[in-house]
Amino acid sequence: MAEVRTEKRSYFAMLLSLIIPGFGQIYLRKPLKALFLFVGVASGVGIIYMNSLPVNTWQDLIRLEGLEKWWKSQQSEESVDSESLPEREELNAEKEDKRHYHIFTLEEGSKLTWLYKLRWPDAKVGDEVKFRVYWQFKVTGLIQGLVFWFYAIYDGWQGQRGLNKRAFKKKLKIAEKRHKVERKNQEQEI
């Protein structure tokens, strides 16, 4: 048999989660779930930002270089191999500077150098570690952010307030006092 829900929906928690994901869960006294949802949305936004570099205007965030060529190839009878997408083509020196972003340079004795050499043993001191942007990561970051955000809104709407221990103990003490008074009254009547 299905459970019958006696509590009202929490529209206020839903509104809070709509504004900032996780705030509705804080209102519902579920801080760990709030942290999880906020980090999920924030990491999705971070993935979008990192794959939009350099960001000078908001339009840079929605720029999907390489997607147009792939989409046109899917519409025509000729198919384009994924290796021929602009991200994977051999780039000349001018384009390479625009498509790669310097993260750090390997230095002698650095912890990052040591960790990097664990993964890539042929790396040499002085090599540069670069970050390369891909439109596919931007799309997956968008999907991740939206999924976490919509779940936060849904969870806020479905949620019931969690247990407030201080208020619960106070109500318990009041109930115990009431029970003692009722017991005394019953004993006096007898």
Q: In Å, how far are 171, 188, 189, 190 from 184, measured between CA atoms? A: 20, 6, 9, 10
Range scoring the smallest mean pLDDT among 2-6, 119-123, 183-187:
2-6
Q: For residue 83, what pLDDT is reported?
A: 52
> Between vectors from CA 58 to CA 49 and to CA 155, what angle results, nearest 5°?
60
Percent of the chain at pLDDT above 90?
23
Of 82, 68, 88, the C-alpha closest to 132 is 88
Do 39 and 26 lie in one domain? The reply is yes
More confident residue, 114 or 27: 27
Do 80 and 67 lie in one domain? The reply is yes
Q: In Å, how far are 93, 94, 133 from 100, measured between CA atoms? A: 11, 11, 7
Structure tokens at 177: 């006092």
Range scoring the smallest mean pLDDT among 34-38, 72-76, 113-117:
72-76
> Over the stretch 160-175, which tens digit does the pLDDT of each residue have?
766 667 777 888 888 8
Do 14 and 60 lie in one domain? The reply is yes
Whether residue 1 is contained in a domain is answered as no
Q: For residue 97, what pLDDT is reported?
A: 45
More confident residue, 123 or 2: 123
Q: How confident is the prediction for the chain on average, in pLDDT?
A: 77
Classified as helix, coil or strand, 117 is helix
Q: For residue 11, what pLDDT is reported?
A: 87
Supply φ then ψ for residue 57, to 5 degrees: -135, 170
Do 74 and 108 lie in one domain? The reply is no
* Number of independent structural domains in the chain: 3
Q: In Å, how far are 17, 53, 150 from 156, measured between CA atoms? A: 6, 34, 10
Do 31 and 121 lie in one domain? The reply is no
List the domain range (segments joined by +) for residue 170.
Answer: 165-190
Residue 118 has pLDDT above 90, yes or no: no
Do 29 and 104 lie in one domain? The reply is no
Residue 85 has pLDDT above 60, yes or no: no
Residue 17 has pLDDT above 80, yes or no: yes
Do 84 and 70 lie in one domain? The reply is yes
